[in-house]
Amino acid sequence: MPTDAQELKEHLLQIDPEFRRLYSVHRELDTRLHELADKHYLSESEQFEEVTLKKKKLQLKDQMEEIIRRSRTSTPSQATHG
């Protein structure tokens, strides 16, 4: 079982289709937010889009964190075996 957070995320990307889907959408939203951030001026609709995307991105992050928490608690910690 992976020991640090990054290893665990990589492990979940390989074995958990839902985590992989959430991660993919999160990255797509992040890409779009960077595109909006690069603009000098945002129209009213782009400002609304930016706020909406940030909220969706946070929701996805929360869902991914929940999967991470569940995966950590579903298997006994290696530290308890020593």
Task: Give 43-72 pLDDT, tens digit per residue.
Answer: 999 999 999 999 999 999 999 999 999 988
What is residue 67's three-state secondary structure?
helix
Range in 16-20, 36-40, 68-72 the model is least confident about = 68-72
Say what the pLDDT of residue 79 is.
43
Q: Which residue has the tokens 């991470």?
A: 68
How many angstroms separate the Cα of 64 from the Cα of each of 6, 23, 38? 13, 7, 27
Domain boundary assignment for the chain: 5-72
Rounded Cα distance between 41 and 14, Å, is 39
Say what the pLDDT of residue 82 is.
36
Q: Which residue has the tokens 């889907």?
A: 21
Say what the pLDDT of residue 78 is.
46
Average pLDDT over all residues of the chain: 89
